[in-house]
Structure 1
Amino acid sequence: MPNRATLHLPSDAACPCGNGAYGSCCGPALDGSSAPATAVALMRSRYTAFALSDIDYLLRSWDAATRPRELALDPDTEWRRLVVIDVVGGTPEDETGIVEFRAVFRDADGRGELHERSRFVRRGDGWRYLDGEHRD
């Protein structure tokens, strides 16, 4: 299996977030050519970054106030599906946004699910992930 940290998807491949083709969905955010315009677009791009093990993007898109110094991802985790449950604010006119989602994954222990209500803030240079509350 290739190292997912070096995996680059073709622009016409299905985006891991499930919202269209990678090149017109999350690809521009991950390659730095275009910033996500909304909190939900940032959340989708962060999910895609987890799926592709793009630690640099995850750290870049994390607000400096809460960003960890470093981040390690489990190479055995395969992110399978994203479901957006609720979006509050997070438009280009807003300063804050909330996105609730479920992310299905498979790891060494089998199938799992992450359910989180994430908070986002818009800074001068774009949207940033602030923090999240895990739900059961």
Structure 2
Amino acid sequence: MIDAALLDAPCPCGRTDAKARPLAYARCCGALHQRFAATGRWDAPDAETLMRSRYSAFTLELLDYLRATWHPDTRPATLEANEPGLKWLGLQVKARAQQDAEHATVEFVARSKLGGRAFRLHETSRFVRVDGQWHYLDGDLR
């Protein structure tokens, strides 16, 4: 369940509008999360949007959404909630590429902090479209 107060807050993924103002969660990743909760579909228009929505889902611990958007061939059997005290600090999309209509990559850096220590997750993720839905396939860490 998504907290109603979160809907007007800036989206955790950091996406901005044409004037560089943060998009509200409800107008960004929240729209995909709510669609999934209501219909079981997320309908991300492209791999970057799916990747951003997955980052936001990690920050909000939306484990059902994360599992559903993970490609069935590489999806883990279970997902764990964030480690207690973990704080997600931000997302930077470094590059995106569309290989063809069904395959894309997104390079990103996600920053977090745990126990006073900062961490960076730098990954180039691969995405595949299955039955019209983008799915996270796997990624290469740097």
Whether 2:72 is the aligned partner of 1:70: answer no
Letter in 2 for 1:110: R
Instruction: State TM-score, norm by structure 1.
Output: 0.87
Cα drift, residue 7 of structure 1: 5.5
Cα drift, residue 75 of structure 1: 2.9
Letter in 1 for 2:134: W
In the TM superposition, structure 1's runs of 4+ consecutive aligned residues that sit over 6 Å from their partners are: none
Q: 1:50-71 deviations in whole A, cap 9, x for unaligned?
A: 1101111110100000000101
Q: How many residues align?
A: 128
Q: In the alignment, what sits opposite 1:17?
A: 13
Separation in 2 of the partners of 1:99 and 1:21? Answer: 22
Whether 2:137 is the aligned partner of 1:130: answer yes
Instruction: Identify unmatched segments of 5+ residues in structure 2.
Output: 16-22
Q: In the alignment, what sits opposite 1:82?
A: 91
User: SS of the residue aligned with 2:120?
Assistant: strand
Is the helix fraction higher in 1 or 2?
A: 2
Separation in 1 of the partners of 2:132 and 2:59? Answer: 24
Letter in 1 for 2:96: V
**Do the aligned partners of 1:28 and 1:35 also contact (CA within 8 Å) in 2?**
no
**Do the aligned partners of 1:120 and 1:130 also contact (CA within 8 Å) in 2?**
yes
Whether 2:128 is the aligned partner of 1:121: answer yes
Separation in 2 of the partners of 1:65 and 1:121? Answer: 11
Q: 1:25-80 deviations in whole A, cap 9, x for unaligned?
A: 00011122652110000000000001101111110100000000101132322111
User: SS of the residue aligned with 1:10?
Assistant: helix
Cα drift, residue 11 of structure 1: 2.3
Instruction: State TM-score, norm by structure 2.
Output: 0.83
Alpha-carbon RMSD:
1.7
Counterpart mapping for 1:103-118 below 5 A: 103-108=110-115, 110-118=117-125
